[in-house]
């Protein structure tokens, strides 16, 4: 049996030896959460042309008289340019042009845009509009310059960056519709146990238990970076388990997460089967509660390395196995930094077994300006009702048989 810290070092080391190198192309609308296989560069300037940031009037400041700039004299306005107009070049030579937000400036000679609320307006004979300024305009005021946001050839995203929702606006603005990304990690789920039945079953027969861990793993592992397949329930038949493993590996699964059959009972066949298949068991049993019998192994299949997590079948043990073993392994493969560890004071004393690092269901509560944490009642690995009020795991160190009220402990989101 190894310590939890040793298990994490093993997972990190093994993950560093595995590389997702295959590349595939995805549409922008399907890219969020994917890992970029190459950097992305801007194709063009944004904005692509000088345009107005406001509804108002474009002015040729260099051609206005002192009296016009000071608001002592009316300025004739000729024409109106709306966003999307392309015939603005047909306008005559004039000192001021009415312009809408986003509309292109007629030429570089128009050096300022004054807002519509900063002028008086009137219409003279023959319907010609005139404006009188309330304020002295500044050069460049209310003008968006071509390339002010982005210049052509700038790097937008680097290789191995994970595409986020916030990236969609700049990428779509550039007309980038397809991205080269790393292929998804293939992950398979196998549930073992003769007593396990589908969670849809309305009425249990004697001795049966609904499979809650299969659907839990499906939901908790849903990710754009993962191609997930649930291979269903395998009864306590080693030969069937082996056949399903091979089937999973043959269809491109990289990592299998199987529940149950990893302890020391007569029907705990996962380790013997893996060893018969030539697997290297990196660890089996970790000094934790719940989930002590957890197993992690790797093996070669058709020249490719495959990985198997065997987590205990009790539902809370499965949850701990995923959150504190499987997820850190995935994050290492994807290059995702582990979450920042928070520490909080315990609201109440917690008893624990000596020599085991414990992951207990907990709830975070606010006490004045400080957040504190309470370990909930019902920590047995079969007890799922406490999860209804849990919002965190409280992590208790190996040493000691209890943690006193007020001591600081690590807290992880559930």
Please compute the mean of the pLDDT values over residues 187-206 and round it to a whole number: 96
Please compute the mean of the pLDDT values over residues 55-81 and round it to a whole number: 95
User: Which of 81-95, 221-235, 300-314, 320-334 is least confident?
Assistant: 81-95
CA 91 from centroid of its chain's CA atoms:
50
Please compute the mean of the pLDDT values over residues 114-123 and round it to a whole number: 97
Q: Is the pLDDT of residue 88 over 70?
A: no
Whether residue 87 contacts residue 139, with contact meaning beta carbons closer than 8 Å, is answered with no
pLDDT band at 267 (very low <50, low <70, confident <90, very high): confident
Whether residue 110 contacts residue 63, with contact meaning beta carbons closer than 8 Å, is answered with no
Please compute the mean of the pLDDT values over residues 381-405 and round it to a whole number: 97
User: How high is the pLDDT of residue 91?
Assistant: 58
Please compute the mean of the pLDDT values over residues 137-148 and round it to a whole number: 97
Q: Is the pLDDT of residue 168 over 60?
A: yes
Three-state SS sequence of 157-209: ECCCCECCHHHHHHHHHCCCCEEEEECCEEEEEEEECCCEECCCCCCCCCCCE
Q: Is the pLDDT of residue 15 over 90?
A: yes
Q: Which residues of 263-283 are buried (b: 16+ CB within 10 A; e: fewer)?
A: beeeebbbbebbeebebebbb
Phi (first) and psi of residue 46, to 5 degrees: -135, 125
Q: Of all residues in the chain, what percent carry a pLDDT higher than 70? A: 99
User: How high is the pLDDT of residue 317?
Assistant: 98
| Cβ partners under 8 Å of residue 79, min gap 6 | 88, 91, 92, 94, 97, 98
User: Which of 186-190, 231-235, 358-362, 392-396 is least confident?
Assistant: 231-235
Distance CA 10, CA 29 (A): 37
Please compute the mean of the pLDDT values over residues 141-154 and round it to a whole number: 97
Q: Is the pLDDT of residue 90 over 60?
A: no
pLDDT band at 89 (very low <50, low <70, confident <90, very high): low
| Cβ partners under 8 Å of residue 249, min gap 6 | 256, 301, 302, 304, 306
Average pLDDT, the chain: 95
Structural domains of the chain ordered from first start? 4-22+184-334 (3.40.980.10), 25-41+152-182 (3.90.105.10), 51-144 (2.170.190.11), 342-413 (2.40.340.10)
Please compute the mean of the pLDDT values over residues 168-191 and round it to a whole number: 98
How many helices and strands (H and E) does the chain possess? 8, 28
Distance CA 87, CA 91 (A): 8
Please compute the mean of the pLDDT values over residues 281-295 and round it to a whole number: 98
User: How high is the pLDDT of residue 266?
Assistant: 73
pLDDT tens profile 296-313 = 999 999 999 999 999 999
Residue matched to tokens 């300006």? 369
pLDDT tens profile 209-237 = 999 999 999 999 999 999 999 999 998 88
Angle, to 10 degrees, between the axis of helix 4-16 and the axis of helix 327-334? 30
Q: Is the pLDDT of residue 321 over 90?
A: yes
Please compute the mean of the pLDDT values over residues 343-350 and round it to a whole number: 96
Q: What is the pTM of this model?
A: 0.88
User: How high is the pLDDT of residue 188?
Assistant: 98
User: How high is the pLDDT of residue 239?
Assistant: 94
Distance CA 387, CA 389 (A): 5
Q: Is the pLDDT of residue 92 over 80?
A: no
Phi (first) and psi of residue 405, to 5 degrees: -55, 135
Distance CA 229, CA 224 (A): 13
Distance CA 219, CA 207 (A): 26
Q: Is the pLDDT of residue 182 over 90?
A: yes
Token digits for 64? 């206005």
């Amino acid at each position: 049996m190894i310590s939890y810290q040793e298990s994490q070092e093993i997972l990190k080391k093994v993950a560093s030896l595995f590389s997702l190198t295959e590349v595939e192309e995805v549409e922008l609308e399907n890219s969020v959460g994917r890992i970029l296989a190459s950097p992305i560069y801007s194709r063009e300037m944004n904005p692509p042309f000088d345009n107005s940031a406001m509804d108002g009037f474009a002015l040729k400041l260099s051609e206005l008289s002192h009296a016009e700039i000071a608001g002592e004299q009316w300025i004739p306005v000729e024409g109106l340019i709306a966003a999307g107009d392309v015939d603005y070049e047909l306008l005559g030579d004039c000192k001021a042009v009415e312009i809408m937000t986003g509309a292109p400036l007629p030429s570089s000679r128009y050096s300022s845009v004054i807002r519509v609320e900063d002028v008086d307006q009137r219409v003279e004979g023959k319907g010609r509009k005139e404006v009188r300024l309330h304020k002295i305009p500044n050069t460049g005021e209310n003008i968006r310059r071509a390339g002010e946001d982005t210049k052509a050839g700038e790097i937008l995203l680097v290789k191995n960056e994970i595409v986020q929702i916030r990236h969609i606006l700049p990428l779509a603005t550039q007309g980038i519709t397809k991205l080269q990304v790393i292929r998804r990690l293939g992950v398979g789920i196998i549930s073992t146990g003769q007593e396990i039945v589908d969670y849809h079953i309305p009425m249990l027969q004697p001795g049966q238990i609904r499979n809650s861990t299969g659907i839990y793993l499906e939901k908790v592992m849903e990710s754009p970076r993962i191609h997930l397949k649930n291979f269903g329930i395998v009864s306590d038949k080693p030969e069937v388990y082996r056949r399903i493993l091979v089937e999973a590996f043959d269809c491109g699964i990289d990592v299998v997460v199987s529940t149950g059959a990893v302890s020391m009972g007569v029907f705990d066949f996962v380790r013997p089967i893996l060893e018969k298949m030539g697997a290297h068991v990196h660890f089996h049993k970790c000094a934790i509660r719940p989930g002590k019998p957890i197993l992690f192994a790797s093996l070669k299949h058709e020249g490719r390395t495959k990985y198997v997590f065997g987590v205990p079948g009790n539902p809370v043990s499965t949850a701990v196995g995923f959150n504190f073993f499987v997820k850190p392994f995935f994050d290492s493969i994807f290059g995702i930094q582990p979450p920042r560890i928070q520490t909080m004071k315990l609201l109440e004393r917690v008893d624990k077994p000596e020599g085991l690092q414990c992951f207990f269901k907990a709830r975070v509560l606010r006490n004045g300006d400080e957040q504190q944490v309470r370990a909930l009642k019902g920590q047995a690995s079969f007890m799922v009702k406490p999860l209804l009020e849990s919002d965190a795991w409280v992590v208790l160190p190996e040493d000691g048989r209890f943690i006193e009220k007020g001591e600081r402990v690590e807290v992880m989101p559930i």
